[in-house]
Chain A
Amino acid sequence: MLRFLTRRLLGAALILLVISAATFLLFFAVTPDPALLSCGKQCTPETLAAIQHNLGVDSPVPVQYWHFLVGVFAGRDFGAGQHCPAPCLGYSFVNQQPVLQTLLDRLPATLSVAFGAGALVLTMGVGLGLIAALRRGKPLDKASMGLALIGASFQIYFFGIIARYVLVDQLGWLPRPDYTPLTSDPLQWAGGMILPWVTLAVVNAATYARFTRSTMLENLSEEYVRAVRAKGLSARAVYLKHAFRGAMTPVLTMFGIDMGMFLGGALITETTFNIPGIGRLAVDSVAAQDLPMMMGTVLVASTAMVFASIAVDACYALIDPRVRTS
């Protein structure tokens, strides 16, 4: 297990390095000089050079990337004399805030969306899929699969806005979707999160339901299930202890990938419900051409993705004894 983890962590570091380098080079190659933006109308070559120096964009792009990397591991000093301590992701071009601090400020909102939605997606999707598999061919199976198909065809921005219009604005059954820190008022936090959670769950759970149903059916027709049935185990034990366990591994892979995506900031959900998370930050910093901030959000998103996939593989080994980690 330890060897597996070290190997995967090294791989993850490498992937992150490649992704950050690619993002950095691509964006610096195509964006206009960020110093021009903050230089304003009466821009003399001297002030421009000074601003470039302050922003740290006065050297060639590969050198800038090197500075960025050094900053992440050892901290760096910027031209204006600010020192940015060790995990330094630079300062925003727009409001001069440290990127790391902004990311950390935005993280709780994204985590709230991701974990709540993740839990709901899993229970709704797997539950629906299990019911359908156990009642195969019966009306309940057809109804839940039909529901799943409709759910999967909805778009977050369409379903979310309809739900908001009907449930919040017209009927007043739900509070306005909004982010309140969990620590300040748990009830208000949950209330404001219901709509984003439900929206993400409805749109995503469908895939889980269909997938759970098919892997469950596959497992139910396997030899080992027949063996435990022949042993005289109750139907309940056969379904839930044996077949379900086998069916969960592929579902888990999907869940890992989705969680990785949610944790990196659910762009559309956060935009639709105006939740100040990483996803919103990403969209806003793109609009403002705020490169350091955008690099930060890209890094958060890809880190979440890479680590989710490692977590999935580790869980695999725990659930399925056939999978070896070496």
Chain B
Amino acid sequence: MAEAMTTTAAPPKPVQEKAPEHRSPARLAWRRFRRDRTGVFAGIVVALFFVAGLGAPLIAKLYGKDPYTTYGQNQSGLLDDFGYPTGRFGGMSSQFWLGVEPELGRDVFTQLLYGIRTSLLIALAIVLLITMAGTLIGLVAGYFGGWVDYALSRVIDVVLCFPSTLFFVAFIPIVTTRFVAPNQQTPTWLIATLLILVLSAFGWPTTARLLRGQTLSLRDREFVQAARVMGVHPMRVLLRELLPNLWTPILISASLNVPAYVTTEAALSYLGAGMIEPTPDWGRMIHRGAEVYNADFTYMLFPGLAMLIFVLAFNLLGDSVRDALDPKSNR
């Protein structure tokens, strides 16, 4: 068995050595991507969001404020008697660039900045988990077929039929009450972990179904059959023969999933089942903004716009990445 392994370990990308100008598929894709101006611009915007999220503490330090201090309550004159910002446009000023939060009087700019971290961290963790689980399950179901495929496909069907949003909204608050004593504050990490686990638990089937289909179409190709005939261990066929040929669909589905989970996380917070005070979170800001929009429209506008720009840029980037990786598709 071990001997067979060593003889069949030919990596399935001989293109690299043959092409005289050293054009690997990745390099070709990169070249196609660079020519796509919209894609590059969207990529820069997305990168800015990542940098802003990573550098939030530094930016906040330079800016001189943090997202937790209730400036409006400490400093008189920022909020009126009803708790709304006194200045125009939600109290925007040279001191508070994007205004102050109604009632609590926290700084909107730093809250948005730190909100990026919450959203991206949770969304990226979920995408990582569901991509790994979905790929593995899809590969196994597609490659082995038979009863394994049947069982896994039925599980996928059932999970996809779950009313998932409803389930998240219902499940997350109840589980939190289980872990936290009533008189204690819920720790942020607990909610974050819970969000990641529960959303991943319902998120993998879409990726798995996609990968199963792709695996099915690859399974009967010559190189896979050759490996199988030579007695290569199934695990090795999956990881060394099939997986390298599936990177494109995996990357594409992951790139579509990031904005999808940023918005799902925000939607849960909007419905009151996501992040809790005082962790800065876009969805929770919009939730609060929706309560006061008639008196202070600006407070709801900024988190909404931030999310709109992020999702739009990420979708554009995803489109370009897809075009670059898979030039045959015409979307």
Contact = CB atoms under 8 A, between A and B. Distances in A.
B170 A153 contact: no
Interface string A204-222: 0000001001100110000
Interface string A149-173: 1101111011001101100010000
Given A302-B161, A305-B161, A153 B312 contact: yes
A297 B166 contact: yes
Interface residue range, chain A: 35 or more
B294 A165 contact: yes
A228 B296 CA distance: 59
B243 to A, nearest CB: 27
B169 A162 contact: no
A169 B161 CA distance: 38
Contacts of B331: 210, 213-214
A267 B158 contact: no
Interface residues of B, number: 42
Interface in B291-331: 293-294, 297, 300-301, 304, 307-308, 311-312, 315-316, 330-331
B93 interface: no
B162 A286 contact: no
Interface stretch (B24-32, B73-81, B263-271): B263-271
B330 A282 contact: no
Contact of A27 (B170, B272, B308): B170
Nearest to B301: A162
Contacts of A214: 330-331
B165 interface: yes
A224 to B, nearest CB: 18
Interface string A292-320: 00100110011001100100000000000
A107 B137 CA distance: 38
Interface stretch (B10-18, B50-58, B94-102, B173-181): B173-181
Contact of B267 (A210, A268, A287, A297): A268
Contacts of B174: 27, 30-31, 286, 289
A267 B162 contact: no
Contacts of A158: 286, 300, 304, 307-308
Contacts of A165: 293-294, 297
Given A149-B316, A153-B308, A302 B178 contact: no
A301 B294 contact: no
B331 to A, nearest CB: 5
Contact of B167 (A18, A298, A309): A298
Contacts of B259: 153
Contacts of B163: 261, 264, 298, 301-302, 305
Contacts of A18: 158
Nearest to A308: B161
Contact of B270 (A157, A164, A210, A265): A157
Contacts of A164: 293
Contacts of B177: 32
Given A15-B157, A18-B158, A267 B290 contact: no
The 8 A-B pairs with the shortest beta carbon distances in the complex, nearest first, are A301-B163, A158-B304, A153-B312, A153-B311, A286-B170, A214-B331, A305-B161, A282-B166
Interface of B: 157-158, 161-163, 165-167, 169-171, 173-175, 177-178, 259, 263, 266-267, 270-273, 286-287, 289-290, 293-294, 297, 300-301, 304, 307-308, 311-312, 315-316, 330-331
19 contacts: A15-B161, A19-B158, A19-B162, A22-B162, A32-B177, A149-B315, A155-B267, A158-B300, A161-B304, A210-B331, A267-B165, A267-B166, A283-B272, A286-B173, A298-B163, A298-B167, A301-B163, A301-B166, A302-B163
Given A19-B158, A157-B270, A158-B304, 16 more contacts: A15-B161, A18-B158, A27-B170, A153-B308, A155-B263, A155-B266, A157-B290, A158-B286, A158-B300, A214-B330, A264-B163, A267-B166, A286-B169, A286-B173, A286-B174, A287-B272
